[in-house]
């Protein structure tokens, strides 16, 4: 399962699409799995990801969610693990548990600050940034823990992924981060959402430079796509989320559509989203689709419905 995913990821012309899922503030993840099954979305992607308490808000566990998705659809899932909530002991313990239930693709994140949490006086751990988790995975793949102690029963291979901003005023900032995460063993680096072709091309150019500088030449860039069908979403991302660039043309188009009503707004937003989705597929068919659990929207995009 995982070997096939990595093979598709590393084959230049092979299409590769993963779909993000976000566990809710619930004691059961299965309703999300049921929705995906009902819509037939799983048949159109190569795998999934599960988020790990994004924005420091309490959600269902990402590793258990990944296990449930894998068991239902027999497709690999990238389980996100955040440095915010775990020290190196907990990280390794969770990795061992995940390994035993065959959750073996891990998306390493530093994590959003704990001060924005919905839990009173929550404190972040942050023993290091996400590269420590990448290093821990390297150790596991060598049959040892982070302290160098050998495991009696060695873990099955773990496949490390990382994330990156999609935009920076100084592109060399992105280049340095690419090199750093490649050096620490990331097989795939997923960008934040991209909204225009030129942005995607620039990221690919920077990534090729990073592979030349890095000790790891086998890493692959995965372009993040986030379909926008509402003006307020586009405006929020443009104004409040660093590392993302939403073109003015998107804002203007959605503004004019918004004045004509919700249906027209959705139509124009979907058209813009489909255009960038198809454009990225054409130049680099390695995509991570993020829809904030709007799986009907994911289906529309993946099927190319009018």
Rounded to an integer, what distance in angstroms lies between the CA atom of residue 181 and that of residue 277?
25
Rounded to an integer, what distance in angstroms lies between the CA atom of residue 178 and that of residue 163?
9
Q: Which residues pair with 78 in a beta bridge?
A: 49, 105
In the chain, what are the domain boundaries? 2-229+284-303
Q: What is the pLDDT of residues 213-236, one digit of tens each?
A: 998 888 999 999 999 999 999 999
Q: Which residues contact 260 (CB under 8 A, 6 or more apart)?
A: none
The pLDDT of residue 305? 46
Rounded to an integer, what distance in angstroms lies between the CA atom of residue 106 and that of residue 161?
6
Rounded to an integer, what distance in angstroms lies between the CA atom of residue 289 and that of residue 301?
10
The pLDDT of residue 306? 39
**Six-digit token string for 234:** 């586009």
Distances (CA, A) of 9 to 16, 23, 218, 245, 293: 6, 25, 10, 25, 23
pLDDT of 211 > 70? The answer is yes
Taking alpha carbons only, the member of 299, 163, 296, 295 closest to residue 224 is: 163
b/e 254-272 (16+ beta carbons within 10 angstroms → b) = beebbeeeeeebbebbbeb
Confidence of residue 278 (pLDDT cuts 50, 70, 90): very high
The pLDDT of residue 242? 83
Q: What is the pLDDT of residues 74-114, one digit of tens each?
A: 999 999 999 999 999 999 999 999 999 999 999 999 999 99
Q: What CATH number was assigned to the domain covering residues 2-229+284-303?
A: 3.20.20.220
Rounded to an integer, what distance in angstroms lies between the CA atom of residue 59 and that of residue 52?
7
**Six-digit token string for 66:** 């990944």
Phi, psi of 219 (to 5 degrees): -70, 155
Q: Which residues pair with 189 in a beta bridge?
A: 162, 221
pLDDT of 64 > 50? The answer is yes
Rounded to an integer, what distance in angstroms lies between the CA atom of residue 77 and that of residue 288?
12
In order, the DSSP letters of 125-163 are --SS-HHHHHHHHHHHHTTB-TTSPBPSSPPPP-EEEEE
Q: Which residues contact 118 (CB under 8 A, 6 or more apart)?
A: 56, 57, 58
Confidence of residue 240 (pLDDT cuts 50, 70, 90): confident
Within 13 Å, how many C-alpha atoms sit on residue 226's CB side? 18
* Helix and strand numbers, DSSP H then E, in the chain: 11, 8
Q: Say what percent of the chain tops pLDDT 90.
A: 94
The pLDDT of residue 104? 98
Phi, psi of 279 (to 5 degrees): -65, -45
């Amino acid at each position: 399962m995982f070997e096939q995913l990595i093979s598709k990821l590393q084959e230049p012309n092979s299409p590769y699409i993963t779909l993000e899922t976000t566990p809710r503030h619930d004691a059961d993840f299965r309703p999300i799995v049921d929705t995906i099954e009902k819509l037939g979305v799983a048949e159109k992607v190569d795998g999934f990801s599960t988020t790990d308490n994004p924005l420091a808000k309490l959600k269902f566990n990402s590793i258990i969610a990944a296990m449930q998705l894998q068991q239902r659809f027999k497709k690999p899932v990238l389980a996100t693990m955040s440095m915010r909530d775990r020290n190196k002991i907990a990280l390794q313990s969770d990795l061992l548990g995940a390994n035993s239930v065959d959750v073996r693709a891990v998306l390493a994140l530093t994590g959003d600050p704990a001060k924005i949490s919905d839990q009173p006086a929550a404190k972040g751990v942050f023993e290091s940034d996400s590269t420590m988790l990448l290093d821990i995975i390297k150790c596991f793949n060598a049959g040892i823990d982070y302290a160098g102690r050998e495991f009696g029963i060695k873990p099955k291979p773990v496949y490390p992924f990382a994330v990156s901003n999609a935009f920076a005023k100084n592109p060399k900032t992105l280049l340095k981060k690419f090199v750093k995460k490649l050096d620490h063993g990331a097989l795939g680096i997923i960008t934040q959402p991209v909204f225009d072709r030129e942005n995607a091309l620039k990221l690919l150019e920077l990534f090729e430079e990073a592979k030349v500088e890095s000790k790891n030449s086998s890493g692959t860039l995965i372009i993040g796509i986030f379909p926008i069908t509402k003006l307020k979403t586009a405006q929020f991302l443009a104004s409040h989320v660093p590392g993302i660039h939403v073109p003015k043309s998107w804002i203007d188009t959605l503004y004019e559509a918004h004045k004509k009503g919700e249906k027209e707004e959705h139509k124009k937003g979907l058209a813009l989203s489909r255009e960038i989705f198809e454009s990225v597929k054409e130049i680099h068919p390695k995509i991570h689709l993020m829809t904030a659990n709007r799986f009907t929207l994911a289906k529309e995009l993946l099927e190319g419905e009018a």
